[in-house]
Homo-oligomer: A and B are copies of this chain.
Amino acid sequence: MTETAESVSFDVPSYMRELGRCARQASRLVGRAESGDKNAALYAIADAIVADRVQLAAENRKDLQAGKQRGLDAALLDRLELTDARIDAMAEGLRQIAALDDPVGAISDLNYRPSGIQVGRMRVPLGVIGIIYESRPNVTADAAGLCLKSGNACILRGGSEALHSNQALAGCIKKGLQQAGLPATAVQVVATTDRAAVGELLKLEEFVDVIVPRGGKGLIERISRESRIPVIKHLHGVCHTYIDDQADIDKAVKVAFNAKTQRYGTCNTMETLLVAEGIAERVLPLLGRMYRDAGVELRGCERSRQILNDINAAQDSDWNEEYLAPILSVRVVADLDAAIDHIEKFGSRHTDVIVSENITRARRFLREVDSSSVMVNASSRFADGFEYGLGAEIGISTDKLHARGPVGLEGLTTLKFIVFGDGHIRV
């Protein structure tokens, strides 16, 4: 199905190439723009979103109606809806991004070398960022704001079900950019739902520096496989909490309960609870009751089923599972080494937690568990750009290169070397 905002079909490869060319051009201007101008644009976009709320809601209704006709489920329709509160939240998010420090141009580590030259590093934008995402239209404002503040141009490709909402937002963004004297093409929202557009975007290595996919695992795997451009991605989160036998029972119960139940559908929610044999009989009955009262289904190893005798048996596949639901797998392990082995074997290198009062074990866990976030005595739900003080996040990377963990403005920039001399030559 090919549908553009104006329902005109066109040549997708040429269209995408032209977006790429314009983005590259705009990136040079936005990359050197002053902080004040970028902030002015962010405020102007926020104002335009608030001012245009009636029109935004009308366009959003078109998407909602089409979605209902296509039989989208209630959860998807809910995510798609731009309520008054969500429109205000988008504008507020942009103002918050404006208030963050500008990372671009910051110079660090400027030192003289024995040769007499002075060498340092300057933080600079990546250039052009392609973002591919699913139904929620607020991502459009959010991603545009983060890319703009970090001096990057971007090409945004939202879900087809949000086409009208996203195009209406694109109009507000364009107005804001122009008002601040920045190029309108610094943020371009793909105006076709033709699926070929994604494939074409992934081929624009000449114009696009990095791709950030946001959505389900299937989408992200396909994009990683197809893309000729580097991808910053978040595959999945199989997060563990390990309760050590030297844990404080109260803290263990609080942390493990919160990590599972504070929200079920997020990537930093705990999916597997590991409990040291030496503390299992004291801590599991307490937690078991709390999970049961909260409606969490437990799937346990043999030993944990001896202690909590009314729970289901975990299958091998449970240890790899990202439930995103009120389900938790539970395993009793011998000790810290067994816990680290389990996480190494089954984890997704996202966020893993130890609860222990023993500093030596905490230090080993921090050093040896190879995940983007490792925590001591805190809920995995804290793995989040806002909670970490990044101000905002474009996503959480489970890759190792470049950005690892929550990706904020800094993750959308890179460092180049700068050198000062006074006619210095190499001998």
Q: Is A422 positioned at the interface, with any CB of B under 8 Å from its CB?
A: yes
Q: Is A222 positioned at the interface, with any CB of B under 8 Å from its CB?
A: no
Which of A124, A366, A368, A400 has the most B CB atoms < 10 Å from its CB?
A400
Q: Is A371 positioned at the interface, with any CB of B under 8 Å from its CB?
A: yes
The stretch that binds B, out of A62-70, A246-254, A302-310, is A246-254
- Write out the residue numbers on chain B whose beta carbons fall within 8 Å of the beta carbon of A251: 422-423
- Write out the residue numbers on chain B whose beta carbons fall within 8 Å of the beta carbon of A404: 414-417
Interface hits, A413-427 → B, CB 8 Å: 414-427
Q: Mark A396-420, 1 if CB is under 8 A from B, else 0.
A: 0001111011100000001111111
Q: Is A344 positioned at the interface, with any CB of B under 8 Å from its CB?
A: yes
Q: Is A100 positioned at the interface, with any CB of B under 8 Å from its CB?
A: no
Q: How many of these chains are in the complex?
A: 2
Question: What is the minimal beta-carbon distance from A286 to any residue of chain B, in angstroms?
Answer: 14
- Write out the residue numbers on chain B whose beta carbons fall within 8 Å of the beta carbon of A388: 113, 119, 417
- Write out the residue numbers on chain B whose beta carbons fall within 8 Å of the beta carbon of A254: 423, 425
From B111, B417, B425, give the contact of A373 (CB < 8 A). Answer: B417
Q: Is A209 positioned at the interface, with any CB of B under 8 Å from its CB?
A: yes
Question: What is the minimal beta-carbon distance from A71 to any residue of chain B, in angstroms?
Answer: 35
From B230, B378, B423, give the contact of A419 (CB < 8 A). Answer: B378
- Write out the residue numbers on chain B whose beta carbons fall within 8 Å of the beta carbon of A167: none
Q: CB-nearest residue of chain B relative to A419?
A: B375
Q: Are A370 and B124 in contact, CB atoms less than 8 angstroms apart?
A: yes
The stretch that binds B, out of A35-43, A136-144, A379-387, is A379-387
Q: Is A372 positioned at the interface, with any CB of B under 8 Å from its CB?
A: yes
| Complexed CA–CA distance, A205 and B426 (Å) | 40
Interface residue SS majority, chain A: mixed
| Complexed CA–CA distance, A114 and B126 (Å) | 30
- Known A-B contacts A111-B389, A230-B230; the reply to A401 vs B400 at CB < 8 A is no
Question: What is the minimal beta-carbon distance from A380 to any residue of chain B, in angstroms?
Answer: 9
Q: Are B423 and A387 in contact, CB atoms less than 8 angstroms apart?
A: no
Q: CB-nearest residue of chain B relative to A24?
A: B344
Question: What is the minimal beta-carbon distance from A37 to any residue of chain B, in angstroms?
Answer: 14
- Write out the residue numbers on chain B whose beta carbons fall within 8 Å of the beta carbon of A258: 425-426
Question: What is the minimal beta-carbon distance from A261 to any residue of chain B, in angstroms?
Answer: 10
Q: Are B400 and A405 in contact, CB atoms less than 8 angstroms apart?
A: no
- Write out the residue numbers on chain B whose beta carbons fall within 8 Å of the beta carbon of A32: 367-368
- Write out the residue numbers on chain B whose beta carbons fall within 8 Å of the beta carbon of A111: 389
Question: What is the minimal beta-carbon distance from A412 to any residue of chain B, in angstroms?
Answer: 11
Interface hits, A82-130 → B, CB 8 Å: 105, 111, 113, 115, 117, 119, 122, 124, 126-127
Q: Is A210 positioned at the interface, with any CB of B under 8 Å from its CB?
A: yes
Which of A126, A250, A382, A383 has the most B CB atoms < 10 Å from its CB?
A382
- Write out the residue numbers on chain B whose beta carbons fall within 8 Å of the beta carbon of A119: 387-389
From B259, B401, B423, give the contact of A402 (CB < 8 A). Answer: B401
Interface residues of A (CB under 8 A from B): 28, 31-32, 105, 111, 113, 115, 117, 119, 122, 124, 126-127, 209-210, 230, 232, 248, 250-251, 254-255, 257-259, 262, 344, 366-368, 370-379, 381-383, 387-389, 399-402, 404-406, 414-427
Shortest beta-carbon contacts, A-B, top 10: A378-B421, A251-B423, A258-B425, A381-B426, A375-B419, A402-B402, A401-B402, A373-B417, A405-B417, A378-B424
6 new A-B contacts, CB < 8 A, other than A124-B370, A254-B425, are A111-B389, A117-B387, A248-B423, A251-B422, A404-B415, A404-B417
